[in-house]
Every structure is written in C-alpha cells, then in structure tokens.
Structure 1
Amino acid sequence: MIEIKRNIFMFISIVFILFVLSIIYFCISFFYVGVTWISLIFLIIPVVGITAMNIRSWLINSRKGKKIYLIVIQVIVVLYFSFSLLKMINIENKSYFTTQRWIESEGTSERFYMLDYVTNKTNGMNRDEVIELLGEPYETKYFSGDKRLIYVLGPERGIFSIDYEWLFLEFNEDGLVNNYEIVTD
C-alpha cells in the first residue's frame, strides 16, 4: 500500500513539474521573450532548483525506483531547458529588424517579433522618416486620422486568430511620433 502511494506521488509530481515548465515555455512563446539576462535567469532558476532537489534526493534515497524517477525528472528538466533556450534564440533571430524584412512580412505574424524595435526606433521621428523606415502605411476605411500612420501587424495573437492587429503611430503638434497603440479590429 505504501509503495502504491509513493508511485502515485511520484507520478503527480512529474505531472506537476511538466505543468509548471509548460507554463513557462508558453509564456516564452506568447510574449516573444528573447535572450536577455533576465530571461536567462528565469529560465535557469527552475533548472537549478529541481536539479538541486534531485541531487539531494539521490544522495539520501538509495531505492532503485526512486532513482529512476529522479532520472526521468532530470531528463524532463534538461529537455525543458534545451527547448526553451532554442525557442528564445529563435525569437531573438526573428526580432532582427530590417526595412526589407518589415515590408516583406506585411500581414504575417513576423512583424510582432520586430515590434519592440519599431516602437522604440520610431519615437521622435517625423512622418517622412517613418515612411522611409517602414514603407508606405496601410490605407483602410476602418481607421482614419491625419495625425497617425497605420501598419498591419498580422493575425491577432492568441489561440483563435480571428481579427488582425494594427500598429498606430501617432504624431504630436510638431509632427513627431510621440505615441503608439496596438489595436485589434
């Protein structure tokens, strides 16, 4: 009876670890997290914590079943770290901005990766500089206004992408970009 309870506990703990690690991986994917010191720290914390607990358990407990369980958990942790790091490197590569990449990716989700660069770079630019950097704005009857430029970003982020997301670059009285807004139609 005690052995069954231990096996159930080990199974539940593996499922819990998988659940927590999959949430972290989902956040990396959904929020387009690139490789930064902060993201690496948050990636490494669960790896180091779980590995330390495994080493401690390995040294304390000599049961064969327990050691197999610890090996399974460590394999899961190593796979999580590898896949998450590869995903972050992929996001980092996709976030590299060039005017040509921006123009060629109109209407695709590729523009989301470059969005951080675009919003920082265009701040303080005049209309002509923005058009030179991003190409001609998107003309649409749904959104209008003389004091802003509109660029389509791509299908909205999320599980069900029904609508599109748009980047509005708004100009102040001096004709310089002072604000941006991301809008879903």
Structure 2
Amino acid sequence: MWIPSLIRRPVPSTTLLGPMRVGKALGFVTSLAAACAIAVGIYWYVALSPTEFDRAIWLQGESATDYPRLRMADGLLRSEVLLGKSKAEIEAMLGPPTTTDKFRDSGLVYWLGPIRGFIRIDSEWLTLNFDQAGKVHDAQIVMD
C-alpha cells in the first residue's frame, strides 16, 4: 500500500548551488563579516578613544552637540594631569564647575555629556575630590 510521505527529504545545498558556488558564497559571507567587524572596530577606536585636552573646546562643552568633554575627560584621567592640582588651578584649567545638586560629597563636578551607548538617558560627570591640603587626590567619571 502506498502512503504519500508528508516529510520531504532536504535537498543538499551543493545540489542547489553547485559545489563551487557554495565555496564562493561562504567566502563572500566570511569576507563581509570580517569587513563589518573591522569597520566597527575602527569606529569604536576613532569615536571613543581619549582626545587631547583643549580648553577652548572644553569651555564650549556643555553646548556642543558631539559632547567633546567625554573623550577629553578620558584623556585627562589617563594622563593623571589633574591629580595634585589645587581648586584654583582646576578652575583655571577647566573653568567654573557645573552647578548641580548631584554628587554633593565631591569637591568639584563637571558635566561631560550623556552616557555613551545606545540608550542615552543618564549623564556622565567628572568628579574631583580634594585632600586636606586642598589638592586633587581623586578624579573619576561617574554616572548619575
């Protein structure tokens, strides 16, 4: 007795494309994935790597749309140039601190921009804490 089969046997991909075309397709997909990975890596390096401090750009930072303070603050922390400076030296370098009720325990606070990432709800801040001698002993980027 003949019963029609409801399950079809899969057709090997080599039958549809041919053995040479499968190899070329895999090579193309692999090359495309590698190119995308390289492009993303270059973007992250260029867009997120620390930049050199520029006082004129820093002072425009709160009104700038590309938020240059974020990357400059990364560079300032990496170089540790802020450590050991007095409050007057910091204000001469960075300008007046941001007026905020956040981070009341910190000595000086500067708004850097919205957090880096896809959902930019919160902000990143540069906080500077001073020791008994009035010198910066701790500088860090914090999120609210």
- Residue 117 of structure 1 and its aligned partner are, at CA, apart by 4.0
CA distance in 2, matches of 1:154, 1:16: 32
Give the number of the structure whose residues are more often helix, by fraction: 1
Pick one of 38, 41, 48 that aligns with 1:21.
38
Q: 1:126-165 alignment to 2 at 5 Å? A: 126-145=86-105, 148-165=107-124
Pick closer, same or farther for the CA change 1:160–1:29 going to 2, 3 Å. farther
CA distance in 1, matches of 2:81, 2:91: 12
Pick closer, same or farther for the CA change 1:158–1:5 going to 2, 3 Å. same
Secondary structure of 2:81 counterpart? helix
- Residue 156 of structure 1 and its aligned partner are, at CA, apart by 0.9
Identity of aligned residues (%): 27
1:99 maps to a residue whose letter is: R
How many equivalent pairs are there?
Answer: 123
Which position in structure 1 is the counterpart of 2:58? Answer: 102
CA distance in 2, matches of 1:21, 1:100: 33
Which position in structure 2 is the counterpart of 1:74? Answer: none
1:11 aligns to 2:11 (yes or no) = no
Pick closer, same or farther for the CA change 1:111–1:124 going to 2, 3 Å. same
CA contact (8 A) 1:106 1:153 kept: yes
TM-score, structure 1 length as denominator? 0.59
- Residue 136 of structure 1 and its aligned partner are, at CA, apart by 0.8
Pick closer, same or farther for the CA change 1:107–1:123 going to 2, 3 Å. farther
Determine which structure has more spread, i.e. the larger CA radius of gyration: 2
CA distance in 1, matches of 2:30, 2:54: 46
User: Unaligned stretches of 5+ in structure 1?
Assistant: 34-94
User: Unaligned stretches of 5+ in structure 2?
Assistant: 1-17
